[in-house]
Structure 1
Amino acid sequence: MEDRRIGVAVDFSKCSKEALKWTVDNIIRKGDNLILINIQPEGYYEEGEMQLWETTGSPLIPLAELSDPAIMKKYKVTPDPETLEIVNTAAAQKEAFVIMKIFWGDPREKLCEAIDNIPLSCIVIGNRGLGKLKRVIMGSVSNYVVNNAKCPVTVVKHHSDE
């Protein structure tokens, strides 16, 4: 049986939770590795580990630590209860091995680096559904990853309640 490493870009926004839930419901199979990829702005790592983490990202963070606020405070990341519920359910019901890896820098570049460094079998990204003007000004992370990733990319479109 192949060792599948399914990446999901998570920033704890509504659209990233939709992408995570979609991944668990549609892609994750028993025994898969569900790897949450979180990108933080540069400078959010502790001084002593800065140079190492700048290039490689954080160590792999297992689900037990992901659920521990004291440990996550070290990374300056606060997973919300809904995200934790989704991944705990995936671990229990699908017997998925859940881990998180945090990178610092430009989300577009770091997501593509994560694909190669981990390496990922595929990656799922939420799409905020920015209008054309905002997408031109801000750039679309999902569009960049779709065009530059070295693995299959699935973009889960955010369903706005507006």
Structure 2
Amino acid sequence: MAESEVQERRIVVAVDEGEESMYALSWCLKNVVSQVSKDTIILLYAKPISSVYPSVDGTGYMFSSDIIASMENYRRNLADCVMEKANNLCKDLPNIKVETRAQNGDPRDVICDVVEKINADLLVMGTHGYGLIKRAFLGSVSNHCAQNVKCPVLIVKKPKSVGNSSVCK
């Protein structure tokens, strides 16, 4: 009998500063990724575009260049912190390759675009578990992605019994 082929999947895991995405990543690593697989985990962080508006009189931005630079620095540091935390969860997996990607844009668009471009085999996401009203105003990234990507989507809901804290402070 021939030895079965080892799986080589490309699994995108969307991560952000919320604990829900780190829970989804750890759940994926325990329940989806096999010790004998040659999976590639792509940790994807979508950096929302900052909202800086020009002033009404056209003389420049509402914020000074120092404030804008500080906001950009914060966004960069937040992305680095999220990726470091996610990488630490993956570090002890022997056969798994881990790639990181941080891209600017609306998370719905960034996630769907990356999944399509790399021809992912699976998308794993956490969910914030917003109720109907909040979801109507904010939109649901996981819902949008589940409806628009061509690969299977695994949405992992964090149990309420697991503590709530942000990943990066």
Q: TM-score range by the shorter chain?
A: 0.7 to 0.9
More helix by share: 1
Partner of 1:70: none
Matched, 1:31 2:51: no
User: Runs ≥4 in structure 1, deviation > 3 angstroms?
Assistant: none
Task: Tell me if the contact between 1:9 and 1:16 (Cα under 8 Å) persists in the aligned partners.
Answer: yes
Letter in 2 for 1:36: L
Aligned to 1:102: 102
| Displacement after TM superposition at 1:2 (Å) | 4.5
After superposition, residues 108-127 of structure 1 pair within 5 angstroms as: 108-127=108-127
Based on CA coordinates, which of the two structures has the bigger radius of gyration?
Answer: 2
Residue type matched to 2:151 in 1? C
1:59-113 C-alpha deviation (Å, 9 max, x unpaired): xxxxxxxxxxxxxx9x5422356433211123x3xx1000111121111111110
CA shift, 1:120, in A, is 0.8
**What does residue range 140-155 of structure 1 map to in structure 2 within 5 Å?**
140-155=140-155
**Helix, strand or coil: the match of 1:89?**
coil
TM-score, normalized by length of structure 1? Answer: 0.72
1:56 maps to what in 2?
A: none
Once residues 106 and 134 of structure 1 are traced to their aligned partners in structure 2, the CA distance between those partners, rounded to angstroms, is: 18
Per-residue deviation, 1:31: 1.4
Look up the SS of the partner of 1:79 in the other structure. helix
Runs of 5+ unmatched residues, structure 2: 1-5, 51-73, 165-169
Across the aligned residues of Structure 1 and Structure 2, the Cα RMSD in angstroms comes to 2.2
Report the count of equivalent residues: 130
Name the aligned partner's letter for residue 104 of structure 2: W
TM-score by length of 2: 0.69
Where does the alignment leave 5 or more consecutive residues of structure 1 unmatched?
44-72
Task: Give me the identity figure in percent.
Answer: 32
